[in-house]
Structure 1
Amino acid sequence: MTMHATQRHERPQDGGTAVLKIVLVDDHAIVRQGLRFILEREADMRVVAEAATAAEAMAVVERHRPDIVLLDLKLSTGSDTEGLEVCSDLVARYPETGVLVLTTFLDDALVLEAIHRGAKGYVLKDVDTTELVTSIRAVSRNESAFDARSASVMVRSIRTASSEPTLTDREQRVLEHLAHGKSNRDIGGALYISETTVKFHVRNIMRKLGASSRAEAVYEASKLGLI
């Protein structure tokens, strides 16, 4: 599914043919190799660099100034959301580069946070090859691109924007632990997620509830009957 926006000029390459320069950012080499094989079968696409870490990603984008960055959200064993920070940095430093999130994680909060941080689209790794290529081309035209499942998240967010806050299942579980006064580390241990991921969920809970502290978030949640 693509959403129309203002088209941006694609940089012409040798012979006047517009070729999209793509950087792959994923911590699994086999995934990058598979993506390179798929994308370089397209006449208008060329993978100019790969990166496995946040630092590598910033370095190769600075060097190659690609049109598109395919970005996974999980770039280390310590965090499921490190890619969000990379997304923010890329958008801030290289506004002409379109960031397309390509990940295994489908979570309402992650989709919305990625878009909030400037990603042009959100696609799951099990997407059809044709749809992935279509999404990349859409982002190169400064359009937004989502697969069917992430698009449904955007639709739900629009529908609930003016209603009471809606927490994801994971956020609800984190909130219940917050209400018992547990630390981020304790919550992470109980839910088998990293402390960084807990912080991400806590920030989203506070944002959704309009709270400025953890205690206020618990208070607002209790007023709404969420706990």
Structure 2
Amino acid sequence: MTETAAETPARTSTIRLVLVDDHAILRQGLRSVLEREPDLTVVGEASSEAEAEAVVRACKPDVALLDLKLSAGSEFEGLSLCGKLSAANAELGLLILTTFLDEELVVRAVQAGARGYVVKDVDTTELVRAIRAVAAGESAFDARSAAAVVRSMNRHSEPRQGLTDRELEVLRLLAAGLSNSRIGEQLYISATTAKFHVSNIMRKLEVSRRAEAVYAASKRGLI
């Protein structure tokens, strides 16, 4: 059931949207469907990562709908964009709207700053509900992506020697000498999130420096 204004937390009367998809016809279709809702208005569109960053800066939307595939050369360019927009716009609600449904992708999108993840064949009512939830600062997942998140959380709930799977990924890149920014780029997360993981790794390994973390991890057979 579609939410009414009275059922959602306080927000501005109109939710400003930016649509990011490399197919113009899909953006046009989305715009036509979404603007039938009295509280939704599309203030900008973009077909690439660079366009999206510029449009978001110029239009200051409440929610950005992002596809993961924005070019023929990159399957998941949208993950990189999600991380960049999240880092630069703390209040922006990021909602992934894509054809891809993969547990790792859903988790990576969340780690990159997405508040929601829905697959493109979702019905209009559910999409509108997700947009309103994300605009209100809540999470929004369709049934399939929510199940993927739960499965991933269950799989990661038993850390290896105190480190989660994600922390082990960060640790391997740390051992390769990558900075927080480069680790973030490799894992499609923000530099701040990478720094958080590095701090957790050092705390769990009971060391105070990055080099000591690599040495301790090597001795324990983690890398």
TM-score, length basis structure 1: 0.66
- Tell me the alpha carbon deviations over residues 9-52 of structure 1, each in whole angstroms, 9 at most, x when there is no partner: 523xxxxxx00000000000011011001100000000001000
Report what 1:72 is aligned to: 67
Distance in 2 between residues matched to 1:107 and 1:220, nearest whole Å:
26
Report what 1:10 is aligned to: 11
Distance in 2 between residues matched to 1:134 and 1:65, nearest whole Å:
21
Report what 2:80 is aligned to: 85
Shift of 1:164: 7.3
8 A Cα contact 2:94 2:116, kept in partner: yes
Distance in 2 between residues matched to 1:146 and 1:74, nearest whole Å:
19
Q: Which of 111, 116, 119 in structure 2 is aligned with 1:121?
A: 116
Distance in 2 between residues matched to 1:164 and 1:200, nearest whole Å:
19
Shift of 1:102: 0.2
> Which 4+ residue blocks in structure 1 deviate beyond 3 angstroms?
none
SS of the aligned residue for 1:86 comes to helix
Shift of 1:155: 1.0
Distance in 2 between residues matched to 1:145 and 1:30, nearest whole Å:
25
The answer for unaligned runs of 5 or more in structure 2 is 1-7, 166-185, 189-196, 202-213
SS of the aligned residue for 1:79 comes to coil
Q: Which amino acid aligns with 2:60?
A: R
The 5-angstrom pairing of residues 102-121 of structure 1 reads 102-121=97-116
SS of the aligned residue for 2:90 comes to coil
CA RMSD of aligned residues (A): 2.5
Q: Which amino acid aligns with 1:106?
A: L
8 A Cα contact 1:8 1:140, kept in partner: no
The percentage of aligned residue pairs carrying the same residue is: 54
Report what 1:180 is aligned to: none
Report what 1:95 is aligned to: 90
Distance in 1 between residues matched to 2:94 and 2:148, nearest whole Å:
18
The 5-angstrom pairing of residues 22-37 of structure 1 reads 22-37=17-32
Q: Which of 128, 134, 139 in structure 2 is aligned with 1:139?
A: 134
The answer for unaligned runs of 5 or more in structure 1 is 1-6, 12-17, 168-198, 202-206, 222-227
Distance in 2 between residues matched to 1:46 and 1:88, nearest whole Å:
24
Shift of 1:162: 2.3
- Tell me the alpha carbon deviations over residues 142-195 of structure 1, each in whole angstroms, 9 at most, x when there is no partner: 110001110001111222222378x9xxxxxxxxxxxxxxxxxxxxxxxxxxxx
SS of the aligned residue for 2:97 comes to strand
